[in-house]
Structure 1
Amino acid sequence: MGRYVARRLLQMIPVFIGSTLIIFCMMYALPGDPVRAMMGDQAYDPAVVASIKKDLGLDQPLLQQYVNYMTGLVQGDFGTQIASQRPISDVITDAFPVTIRLTIFAFTFVTLVGIGLGVVAGLRPDTLRDRGLLTLTLVLVSMPSFVLGFLLQYLLAFKWSVTTPTVTDSTDFGQLALPATVLASLSLAYVARLTRTSIAENLRSDYMRTAVAKGLPRRRVIGVHLMRNSLIPVVTFLGIEIGSLMTGAIVTEGIFNVRGIGIEIYEALTRREGATVVGIASLMVLIYLAASLIVDLLYAVLDPRIRYA
């Protein structure tokens, strides 16, 4: 197991470099000039713009800029925002915990409710509750997150006054409940459908008939034999979905005024602040890679037949 983990960690290095290089190139391929955008509509001196670009290293070739950026990143330096002259590490330190709290809230909701609904429907396929779940998930899949966000905001905040329309305190999980629900809606539908399908298929498996024929208690048959085998595809999806929830928070944070990385990425894109976008994206790439490794290790826990040499 230790050798497998070490090998996977080494494989993450070229994946991380390749991912950040692609993001870096895409960001700097966008039209616009971050230094010029900083000056707004006011008149500017081209010599001053050229001097600022030279100080920031933006006059160098793209590959050299990337090497300089990665060298600083290894040393913990994410760079400096052009407009505010604020270290990007400080921006991430302020915004990232907010998104992490929102993501953890949404991920917990997806895991508990999604798997729960999938198990309930999968144990009794082709029944009324099974068809009800499929209808509900179809509605969630078909509805864009911003439509659901504005709809729930109008109903729960403005019409029924159940909650606040925007988040004023990001440390209050009560205020994060509504945006977390909106953020989790699409993932919830996929997890519920995936769990339901996996449960229904494994119910007809030979090992399930054998376990029932041996006279094992129903709780053990479902909780040990059925669930452990059925959750393998669900765990795979959930591992990838952690990063998807963080990136999907951009729309949700905008609707509910949550000052997380989504807002920071949006504002950085409007100002063509490539260093800010790449810095946040690099951190999210690391989260994706770590989640992928954890999922692979969980396979051996769920299925004893899987062993990593």
Structure 2
Amino acid sequence: MGRYVARRLLQMIPVFIGSTFLIFMMMYVLPGDPVRALMGEQAFDPTLVEKMRHDLGLDQPWWWQYGHYLAGLFQGDFGTEIASKREISEIIAAAFPVTIRLTLFAFTFTAVVGIGLGIIAGLRPDSVQDRGLLTLTLILISMPSFVLGYLLQYFFAFQLQMVTPTVQDSENFGDLLLPAVVLGSLSLAYVARLTRTSMVENLRADYMRTAVAKGLPRRRIVGVHLMRNSLIPVVTFLGTDIGNLMTGAIVTEGIFNVQGVGNAIFEALTRREGATVVGIASLIVIVYLFTSLIVDLLYAVLDPRIRYA
């Protein structure tokens, strides 16, 4: 197991470098100039612009800029924003915990409610509960997140006045409840459907008939034999979904005025602050890599037949 983890950690290095390179090149080829955007609509001196570009290294070829950025990144230096003169690490330190908090809230809501609904429907296929779940999840899958966000905001905030329409305190889980529900609704639909389908398939498996024939208690049959095998594809989806929730939070944070990485990325894209976008995206890549490793290790917990040499 230790050798497998070490090998996976070493494999993360080229994946991380390749991911940051792709993100860096996407920002590099975007039209516009961050120095020119800093000038706004006012008249500017082209000589001054060129001097600023030279001081910032923006007149260098792409390979030099990427190598310089990557060298600083491995030393913990994310760079400095051109417009605000703030350290990018400070911006990330202020915005990232907010998005992490919102993502974990949405992830918990997705896992608990989604798996719970999937179990209820999976144990009674073709029942009223099953058809109701399939209908509900189909609606959630078909509805864009910004439409669902504005609908819930209208009913629960403006009509029922149960919550505030926008987040006033990002550390208050009560304020984050509605954004978390909107953020996790699409994932909840997939988790519920995946759990339901996996359970229905495993109910017809030979090992389930053997367990029933041996006279095992229903609680043990469902809780140990059925659930552990049915949750393997669900765990796979949930592991990769953490990163999807973080990137999907950009739209949700805009609707509910959450000051997280979504707001930071939007402002950085507006000003063509490529270093900020690459820095935030690099951290999201790291989250993806580590969650995928944790998911692989959980396979051995759920299925004893899986072993890592």
TM interval, short-chain normalised: over 0.9
Aligned equivalents of 2:62, 2:227: Cα separation in 1: 50
Percent identity over paired residues: 76
Question: In structure 2, what is the equivalent of residue 52 of structure 1?
Answer: 52
Q: Structure 2: which 5+ residue stretches go unaligned? A: none
The 5 Å alignment of 1:1-309 reads 1-309=1-309
Aligned equivalents of 1:285, 1:102: Cα separation in 2: 18
Aligned equivalents of 2:151, 2:282: Cα separation in 1: 33
Q: Structure 1: which 5+ residue stretches go unaligned? A: none
Tell me by how many angstroms 1:56 deviates: 1.1
Aligned equivalents of 2:247, 2:179: Cα separation in 1: 14
Aligned equivalents of 2:249, 2:61: Cα separation in 1: 33
Superposed CA deviations along residues 194-230 of structure 1, whole A, max 9, x for unmatched, are 0000000000000000011111110000000000000
Tell me by how many angstroms 1:59 deviates: 1.0
Aligned equivalents of 2:15, 2:252: Cα separation in 1: 29
TM-score by length of 1: 0.99
Secondary structure, counterpart of 1:85 in structure 2: coil
Aligned equivalents of 2:301, 2:131: Cα separation in 1: 32
Tell me by how many angstroms 1:86 deviates: 0.2
Aligned equivalents of 1:71, 1:79: Cα separation in 2: 11
Aligned equivalents of 1:189, 1:303: Cα separation in 2: 25
Superposed CA deviations along residues 149-189 of structure 1, whole A, max 9, x for unmatched, are 00000100011101000001000000000000000000000
Tell me by how many angstroms 1:51 deviates: 1.0
Q: Which runs of 4+ in 1 moved over 6 A?
A: none
Aligned equivalents of 1:46, 1:219: Cα separation in 2: 76
Aligned equivalents of 1:290, 1:259: Cα separation in 2: 25
Count how many residue pairs are aligned between Structure 1 and Structure 2: 309
Aligned equivalents of 2:244, 2:187: Cα separation in 1: 9
Cα root mean square deviation, aligned: 0.5
Tell me by how many angstroms 1:55 deviates: 1.3
